[in-house]
Amino acid sequence: MTVTDRPTIRDAPDHRVPARRGRPGRVNGRQPIGALLVTPYLVFLLVVFAYPLCYAVYISFHDYFFAAPGAVVDRPFVGLQNYRTVLADPAVRRSFVNVGIFLVINVPLTAVLSLTLAGALNKAVRWRTFFRVSYYVPYVTASVAVVGVWLFLFNSDGLVNSILGPLAPDPSWLVSSALAMPTVAVYVTWKQLGFFILLYLAALQNLSKDLYEAAAMDGAGRFASFWNVTVPGVRPATTLVVLLATVTGANLFTEPYLLTGGGGPDGASASPVLIMYQRGIEQGSPDIGAAIGILLVIGVLLLALVERRLVGRDD
Amino acid sequence: MRRTFTAVALGAVLAAAAACGSDDAGTGIETRGPITVWYSNNLEEVAWGKQMVAAWNTAHPDQLVTAQEIPTGKSSEEVIGAAITAGNAPCLIFNTSPASVSQFQKQGGLVPLDSFADGTSYVEGRSGEVAQQYKSSDGKYYQLPWKSNPVMIFYNKKAFAKAGIDAGNPPLGTYEEFLATSRKIVAGRGAQYAILPAPSNEFFQSWFDFYPLFAAATGGKQLIEDKHATFAGDEGRAVAQFWRTMYAEKLAGQEKYTGDAFADGKAAMAIVGPWAVSVYRGKVDWGVAPVPTPTGTAADATHTFSDAKNVAIYSACKNRGTAWDVLKFATSSEQDGKFLELTGQMPLRNDVASAYPEYFTKNPDYRTFAEQSARTVEVPNVPNSITIWQTFRDAYSRSVIFGKQDPGASLDEAAKRVDELASQP
């Protein structure tokens, strides 16, 4: 069959029968009950995501602060003033650079490590469940709990420096302007790896063994087989992993807050969400916080579009 | 007929609305009835709060007080701010940070205590001259100065002795003495660090490194006076330079310590208030000294940071008459005495050292703090207070803790920004 012989959508049986106008079934689709089932999620989406997002946009264009119910307060429209304030703030600019550094380290590292480990797990015959659980435990454990382990490893008197001895960096990992953010990025990679391994594992288990057998017949070694069969085969999963890692990475807050004492040293590990919390909640300027948040959303959307083009180009 | 009926109905609705909006319709300052209060969640204060509430409820069964610990959150200030916005703040909170008062006030969350007939006289009568620091920029009191924890230098006698320093009378009075003592401690392996104030970037951390020394060096200046930053002058620069030397010579650490550095022996000194007496009892053989000054000010003339927590009445409160009565009851001489006995923290009374002689005879450890509490400096009660402190902390962290900029230049830059912030509404 040639390409021109392929049946078109127009030829498909369901589309050949013209729909009768005005039938309620057409308004709600062929399964009206589906609309009913989707409604709770739609309401949830509107209430929990759409409304707060729209409200944040509104707040970011006003001189806004939280007030007691009934308190008479003035919240005038200020146009782009909050955005100008945010863009002129060196701490905010630095936080965006910081999160950029974080993503450059975290996203590729997450994709490569989780695919490699998932590949190994997929091949492992014994102890598979043990390894799966081991990788998954940090992900499901609260950051507050596991951060202690990381501090034990990476503070100046920690295990890593004890092993390195005179080779230990000075200033140490978490108080060095150059090393603080990479250390946080590696920590987050380690903590979240379990979730991404599971995604890849599911994708790997859907790959046909025939492809590997064919590759072997063609004389492909382990690496060639991995590169030419596994990597393209899990491309949809890779797209998902990269996008999710980007979105969760852009929301970085807990780790710099706990690991580096609120974004230290000298703001070298402060993330936009951390600054958003400081300005919006601690300092009572939700308008500034909202403007940071909107800029972050726009930045993440643009980045996700680029990533989608780069990673998911064949999908 | 229909027109008359409409006019009457409209009039009735407007009258009802006006009544609801008036101060006497359920939120009047004379209104009495049950109220709710929040207190801090440390064990000692909970014990005090419970007995205070029980005593009130026994005497006033028609105006019952329901009390609970302040709900947990990242900080009590955030919890209170959220409660104000939600309109479900309790009538009284015995844990109101003075730094947040301007923000709560801007939110419309606080009741001015001056609105009660004896409001001003009670606040000033109880706390004396110190009360002036707690007045808001509109000249009103939105908080009652309740308790302070005047911060001083705790030192570990064993660590000092190990480093060959006279633990009975250690030389800590001047910056030079303090630095020399610190060098001896670290070189003599008394402890890894001489002192380890939290080097993290939270806005309030400067209250426990820069600010006490600044208060002492200036004889009691606040960070902002007359809407202008005071910290970039000679005294502020000297304090910043002192701490810069401590960090540069690794006598103080740049890294946040997750435990209690003083209790764990990682640092030989700590800047803490009297709350620490019970914490370190049996764990550390400690002594106490005033914070250092450039020339070694006498102990009985040295100022320090108060680390106070206050009480405020919140605007969501309907029975404000009861709230005011409970506030006065909880800060009466008798209840303040019980508070002192149960927590070791200093009630912000102008006569605390002489008002409870038996307590201080029985607990001589606390006498020094009681004497110090007469010379405390509060955070300035100005708009944008927390933003101002964060601006200061960022500059301090950059220059003093991490040495990325000259401390003097950094303080100058921060002062310009703080002046702008202090002049904003």
Q: What is the mean pLDDT of residues B17-31?
A: 53
**Shared domain check, B171 and B107:** no
pLDDT at B27: 59
State the Cα–Cα distance between residues A295 and A288, nearest whole angstrom: 11
pLDDT at A230: 92
**Shared domain check, B127 and B30:** yes
CA Rg value for chain A:
25
Residues of A in contact with B85 (CB under 8 A): 66-69
**Shared domain check, B170 and B283:** yes
**Shared domain check, B313 and B301:** no
pLDDT at A133: 86
How confident is the prediction for chain B on average, in pLDDT?
92
Split into its structural domains, chain B has a count of 2
pLDDT at A198: 93
Higher pLDDT, B11 or B424: B424
Residue B166: CB atoms within 10 A of its CB come to: 11
Amino acid identity at A87:
L
Residue A307: CB atoms within 10 A of its CB come to: 17
Nearest CA to B386 out of B54, B103, B41, B29 is that of: B103
Q: What is the mean pLDDT of residues B407-418?
A: 97
Cα distances (angstroms) measured from residue A258 to each of A8, A36, A63, A274, B139: 57, 44, 31, 11, 39
What tens digit of pLDDT does each residue of A136-162 get? Answer: 888 888 887 888 888 899 999 899 999
pLDDT at A144: 79
Residue A65 Cα, gap to closest chain B Cα (Å): 7
Q: What is the mean pLDDT of residues A240-263?
A: 93
CATH code for position B408: 3.40.190.10
**Inter-chain touch B255–A282, beta carbons under 8 Å:** no
Q: Domain end: B344, B362, B377, which one?
A: B377
**Shared domain check, B162 and B139:** no
Chain length of chain A: 315
Residue B2 lies in a domain: no
pLDDT at B246: 98
Residue A2 lies in a domain: no
Nearest CA to A60 out of A270, A271, A295 is that of: A295
Residues of A in contact with B394 (CB under 8 A): 91, 266-267
What tens digit of pLDDT does each residue of A64-74 get? Answer: 999 999 998 89
Residues of B in contact with A151 (CB under 8 A): 258
Residue A246 lies in a domain: yes
**Shared domain check, B387 and B369:** no
Q: What is the mean pLDDT of residues B134-139?
A: 94
Residue A99 lies in a domain: yes
Q: What is the mean pLDDT of residues B185-193?
A: 96
pLDDT at B8: 46
Say whether pLDDT at A218 is over 60: yes
Facing B106 at nearest CB: one of A65, A261, A266: A65
**β-strands B193-195, B152-156 pairing:** unpaired
Which residues have C-beta within 8 Å of that of residue A296, sequence separation ≥ 6? A96, A250, A272, A273, A276
Amino acid identity at A206:
N
**Shared domain check, B124 and B233:** no
Q: What is the mean pLDDT of residues B246-250?
A: 97
Which residues have C-beta within 8 Å of that of residue B206, sequence separation ≥ 6? B389, B392, B393, B396
Residues of B in contact with A285 (CB under 8 A): 387
Nearest CA to A266 out of A86, A101, A90 is that of: A90
Q: What is the mean pLDDT of residues B279-302?
A: 95
Amino acid identity at B135:
K
Residue A229 Cα, gap to closest chain B Cα (Å): 47
Lowest pLDDT segment from B233-242, B344-353, B402-411:
B344-353
Say whether pLDDT at B304 is over 60: yes
What percent of chain A is predicted at pLDDT more than 70?
Answer: 90
Q: What is the mean pLDDT of residues B366-376?
A: 91
Cα distances (angstroms) measured from residue A263 to each of A274, A287, B297, B402: 8, 21, 36, 13
Which residues have C-beta within 8 Å of that of residue B419, sequence separation ≥ 6? B227, B228, B229
What tens digit of pLDDT does each residue of B171-183 get? Answer: 999 999 999 999 9
Q: What is the mean pLDDT of residues B207-227?
A: 97
Pure H helices in B373-424: 385-396, 407-423
Residue A5 lies in a domain: no
Residue A24 lies in a domain: no
Residue B189 lies in a domain: yes
With contact defined as beta carbons under 8 Å apart, do A189 and A106 qualify?
yes
pTM above 0.90, yes or no: no
Residue A23 lies in a domain: no
Residue A75 Cα, gap to closest chain B Cα (Å): 12
Say whether pLDDT at B193 is over 80: yes
**Inter-chain touch B85–A67, beta carbons under 8 Å:** yes
**Shared domain check, B188 and B104:** no
Residue A67 lies in a domain: no
What percent of chain A is predicted at pLDDT more than 90?
Answer: 68
pLDDT at B292: 98
Residue A55 Cα, gap to closest chain B Cα (Å): 16
Split into its structural domains, chain A has a count of 1
Q: What is the mean pLDDT of residues B55-69?
A: 97
pLDDT at B128: 92
pLDDT at B374: 86
**Shared domain check, B77 and B113:** yes
Q: What is the mean pLDDT of residues A101-114?
A: 97
Helix (H, G, I), strand (E, B) or coil at B229: strand
What percent of chain B is predicted at pLDDT more than 90?
Answer: 86
Residue B349 lies in a domain: yes
The whole domain housing B229 covers 152-305+383-423
Residues of B in contact with A267 (CB under 8 A): 201, 394, 397-398
Say whether pLDDT at B155 is over 70: yes
From start to end of B181-278, where are the E strands?
193-195, 224-225, 228-229, 267-272
Residue B118 Cα, gap to closest chain A Cα (Å): 25
pLDDT at A243: 96
Residue B345 lies in a domain: yes
User: Which residue of chain A is at minimal alpha-carbon distance from B99?
Assistant: A283
**Inter-chain touch A72–B108, beta carbons under 8 Å:** yes
Residue A6 lies in a domain: no
How confident is the prediction for chain A on average, in pLDDT?
88
**Shared domain check, B353 and B248:** no
Q: What is the mean pLDDT of residues B200-226?
A: 96
Phi, psi angles (nearest 5°) of residue B156: -90, 110
The whole domain housing A139 covers 86-311
Residue B328 lies in a domain: yes
Say whether pLDDT at B288 is over 60: yes
Cα distances (angstroms) measured from residue B387 to each of A279, B394, B421: 8, 10, 8
CB environment B25-55: b (16+ within 10 A), e (fewer): eebebebbeebbbbbbeeebbbebbeebbeb
Residue A124: CB atoms within 10 A of its CB come to: 13
Residue A28 pLDDT grade (very low, low, confident, very high; cuts 50, 70, 90): low
State the Cα–Cα distance between residues B410 and B323, nearest whole angstrom: 45
pLDDT at B16: 41
Residues in A whose CB is inside 8 Å of some CB of B read 65-73, 91, 148, 151, 155-156, 171-172, 174-175, 177, 260-267, 270, 278, 281-285
Say whether pLDDT at A269 is over 80: yes
Q: Residue B313: in which H helix or E strand, if any?
A: strand B309-313
pLDDT at A29: 66
**Shared domain check, B135 and B122:** yes
- B361 at interface of A, judged by CB pairs closer than 8 A: no
Nearest CA to A264 out of B396, B67, B368 is that of: B396
Residue A19 pLDDT grade (very low, low, confident, very high; cuts 50, 70, 90): very low
pLDDT at A58: 98
**Shared domain check, B407 and B367:** no
Say whether pLDDT at A18 is over 60: no
Say whether pLDDT at B242 is over 60: yes
Say whether pLDDT at B23 is over 70: no
Facing A67 at nearest CB: one of B108, B198, B200: B108
Q: What is the mean pLDDT of residues B127-144?
A: 94
Residue B36 pLDDT grade (very low, low, confident, very high; cuts 50, 70, 90): very high
Facing A73 at nearest CB: one of B108, B384, B397: B108
- Chains A–B, number of C-beta pairs less than 8 Å apart: 102
State the Cα–Cα distance between residues A17 and A35, nearest whole angstrom: 23
